[in-house]
A and B are shown apart, each in its own frame.
Chain A
Amino acid sequence: MTEPSALLEIEDVRKRFPLPRSLGESLARRPERAIHAVDGVTIRVRAGESVGLIGESGSGKTTLGWLVARLHEPSGGTLRFDGQDVTHLQGSALRTWRRNVQIVFQDPVGSLDPRLRVWQIIGEPIRAQVGGRPAEVRERVRALLPTVGLPPDCLDQYPHEFSGGGRQRVSLARALSVQPRLIVLDEPTSALDVAVQAQILNRLVDLQRERGIAYLLITHNVAAVRFVADRVAVMYLGQIVEQAAVRELLEHPVHPYTKALLAAVPVPDASRRRTRYRISGEIPSLVDPPPGCRFAPRCPFVIDRCRVEDPPLLPFQGTSRLVACHRADEVRDIPPEELLVRDGAPAAPSPGARPPPAS
């Protein structure tokens, strides 16, 4: 059932980071423990489409981005790009393939070499993929600068001379330099102020319209996802819990975690003020997670079945939406605001005890 137009197909991809064992543990033949950072994720990205990946820190979204760019070796599953299996590409084949997928890293300070000039930073992928003499590389970089909104005279500047927004533009130019078909954007705006963030987001959307690049936008910033993404996947503890078109997902979330996440976002609207948040608990550890739904310990709608049986990611009521929740049909109509309490309002009864709405 592979769609012909899918550019990137990730199937049941996994990444485990084994924890070091002490000598005593090894001698006692204790089983090896591992962090299950990405645990069976399936996503498709079509050409020219932007898919948002939201989730909190520790949910494995950055690891997934690195897997897509082949910066991590997957521990399981397959990665197909344009119909070709790239899960185990090695050597020069991998190197040639890399021009298809570029990545913009989270930290605009740490991902730019402080001792290289702007044209050398942006030109590095060109040198690696296309080659050419320094003067030619420099000319190609000069032609690239206006597309990300950098002034043409900054070729010889160093990264520290730029503001956060400027550095992120350099990062973006570097990703664009080899005309990739997919860019993994790992928190491209989280280090930026709201006004600068708006500029970068506008630029990202313009670039996509002009060049038909596909994006995998990894962020915890719901506002950025709303503006850039066509489809959104929500990740929690290494698994996708819900996936749908952006407007559907943000306006009618189904999975309790998606609802919790959206309810938690503070809105710059003083009329919603003094609302209190009811989801407790924190993201649990990813070291050998227990069976069952991973959100169960925090979920207000939890039933016994959730603690035993892992809910699969299934199409929801015949739509294109995918949800991994045993009670998806019952919790569907509960708005995220239900997870908030207004100031002065009487404390609502525990939502776990509330009768499911008639559907």
Chain B
Amino acid sequence: MKNKILLLIFLTLSLGAKDNNSVYNTNCIPCHEHLPYSLQKIYMLYLKTFSGEQTFKASLKAFLKEPLEETSVMPDEWIENFSVKERTTLSDKELDEAINSYWELYDVRNKLH
């Protein structure tokens, strides 16, 4: 019985730790939380431009791997002030994981009522 309780506590902690240490949390939030444009706003910009989930994710991934002014959805003022971000150092797998987390976090379907 004692062993089972210990196992449950361990699993809960390890899962929580995994969530907090997700690629998205560790690689995206730290930079963006200091910027005037929130990740929510950027999500809405991407959504307005690319519409569907697959298109959204594919476009974002392509941009993160090869950031260009021409492919950026950010306003011109933003580009002038902050320029285009640097190319990501994350692997494809990590990138997919981070983008999936981002999509699920702000997905409008679950929030509209």
User: Do these two chains interact?
Assistant: no
Interface set of A (CB-CB < 8 Å, partner B): none
Residues of B within 8 A of A (CB): none
